[in-house]
Amino acid sequence: MNWSAYSAFVGNVFGAPLAMEALLAFFLESTFIGLWIFGWNKLPPRLHLATIWIAAIGTNMSAYFILAANSWMQHPVGYRVNPVTHRTELTSIVALLTNSTVLAAWPHVILASFVIAGMVVIAVSAWHLARNSQTDVFRRAMRIGLAVTLAAGIATAVTGDIQARLMDSQQPMKMAAAEALYNTSAPASFSLFTIGSLSGGKELWSVRVPYLLSLIATLNPHGTVQGIDNVEHAYDKKYGPGSYKPVIPVTYWSFRLMIGFGMLATLLALIGLWLTRRRRIPRARWFYRAAIWGVALPYLATTSGWIFTEMGRQPWTVFGLMTTAQSVSPGVTASSVIISMTVFTLLYGALAAIAWWLTIRHVKVGAPAEAEPGAAEPLPVFSY
């Protein structure tokens, strides 16, 4: 709605994965979740189980198509720009759907979602274990959550690392902006914290790990990482004079927060697995407090990750082809944009608060009681 110039320019290419997402994934998700929720006793058990698997497959497909669309914005492939209409045209749907960027982004996003799911299970289980309620159920649930979070957390880091090397070759400015590295360096160090100016001035204080940025970007401790000023110089020649720098403090900190929050969640899972080893139930209050509040970590990590990848692409909407400033709707007034922004912020804020409150209530009730042996299996009542 806000991006008509963008829509007109990219619709030929970008619209295809979106329409495929709706037709192949959304219909699958929405129809089969309805069948699952309302299908108890109506469908044979195996078929009923299949419906939730189909919904889950739909969800994963949905992520693939939307990331294929986003990856095209990060690294456009399989297109040409029509010299007459000055709009992009699709030349290969296969290239678009097998873009190296989406092949790396999809597992990264899916695995990060597993970390979120794992941490939610950990937090709910911790709440009950800390109160000694239903310890049998929740110790098992906790172990599953911990194992999933640890495995998915490590795998998210590995896939993120693969993405970093793609980014170094496809969007060197984003890599440089992630570190606020102004001058091309070999080897390049990675700073954990920097106090001082991130806008190119002299830093006051920082904690640095030598060789790490070179390793992340190139797999070689002495590899060359291009600096912001050097990339800017090259882009001025390629795209014409202008500024091709993203907002460096935002990219610098969002990159660190993504990694930091993700690593904390993974570390928490590792500690939890140790504390729950051999049928143990942890005693330490600090662990439960960390596990309950830790549910925020993966949400903060994924949010930071999206802020990083989208802000790191600036000033482009489609890298190298169209800037954000060129993308907006010429006919939409600033007041309309302010109205919609305000409405959506308030609406989603209110819905988030209600959903949070309902979730807490739901969590406190605990797990449904287990059936007496021989009694009919109690089934969940899902009813509007």
Measured distance CA(25)–CA(371) in Å, rounded: 36
- Angle, alpha carbons 179-202-242 (nearest 5°): 65
354 binds another protein (CB under 8 A): yes
7 binds another protein (CB under 8 A): yes
The interface with another protein within residues 210-229 (CB under 8 A) comprises none
**Residues 144/99, Cβ–Cβ less than 8 Å:** no
Please state the closest distance from residue 42 (CB atom) to another protein, in A.
6
Please state the closest distance from residue 318 (CB atom) to another protein, in A.
13
**Residues 62/43, Cβ–Cβ less than 8 Å:** no
DSSP 88: E
5 binds another protein (CB under 8 A): yes
53 binds another protein (CB under 8 A): no
81 binds another protein (CB under 8 A): no
**By C-beta, is 241 or 331 nearer to another protein?**
331
Beta-carbon contacts of 294 under 8 Å, excluding residues fewer than 6 positions away, are 119, 122, 123, 264, 265, 268
**Residues 78/92, Cβ–Cβ less than 8 Å:** yes
- From residue 286 to residue 305, the character string flagging contacts with another protein as x (rule: CB under 8 A) and all else as - is --------------------
The interface with another protein within residues 22-41 (CB under 8 A) comprises 22-24, 26-28, 30-35, 37-41
351 binds another protein (CB under 8 A): yes
4 binds another protein (CB under 8 A): yes
**By C-beta, is 13 or 297 nearer to another protein?**
13
84 binds another protein (CB under 8 A): no
Measured distance CA(92)–CA(87) in Å, rounded: 16
56 binds another protein (CB under 8 A): no
Measured distance CA(118)–CA(24) in Å, rounded: 27
Please state the closest distance from residue 228 (CB atom) to another protein, in A.
34
**Residues 118/145, Cβ–Cβ less than 8 Å:** yes
Phi, psi of 166 (to 5 degrees): -65, -45
Q: How far apart are the first and last CA of the chain?
A: 33
347 binds another protein (CB under 8 A): yes
The identity of residue 281, as a single letter, is: I
In what helix (H) or strand (E) does residue 195 lie, and over which residues does it extend? strand 190-196
CA count, 13 A, side-chain hemisphere, 293: 6
From the list 2, 135, 184, 324, which residue makes contact with another protein (rule: CB under 8 A)? 2
Helix residue ranges per DSSP H, 171-295: 172-179, 212-218, 228-239, 248-275, 285-293
Please state the closest distance from residue 55 (CB atom) to another protein, in A.
11
From the list 60, 82, 197, 220, which residue makes contact with another protein (rule: CB under 8 A)? 82
CA nearest to 270, candidates 148, 106, 132: 148
Name the one residue in this structure whose structure tokens are 């495995």: 151
**Residues 235/183, Cβ–Cβ less than 8 Å:** no
Which of these ranges, 5-13, 122-130, 264-272, 284-292, lies near another protein under the rule CB under 8 A?
Answer: 5-13
**Number of residues this chain uses to bind another protein (CB under 8 A):** 68
**By C-beta, is 38 or 53 nearer to another protein?**
38
**By C-beta, is 91 or 243 nearer to another protein?**
91
From the list 81, 284, 339, 353, which residue makes contact with another protein (rule: CB under 8 A)? 339
Which of these ranges, 98-106, 153-161, 261-269, 326-334, lies near another protein under the rule CB under 8 A?
Answer: 326-334
CA nearest to 242, candidates 311, 138, 153, 320: 320
The interface with another protein within residues 102-161 (CB under 8 A) comprises none
The footprint of another protein (CB under 8 A) covers: 1-5, 7-8, 10-16, 18-24, 26-28, 30-35, 37-43, 82, 87, 89-91, 93, 329-332, 336, 339-340, 343, 347, 351, 354, 358, 361-362, 365, 368-369, 376, 378-384
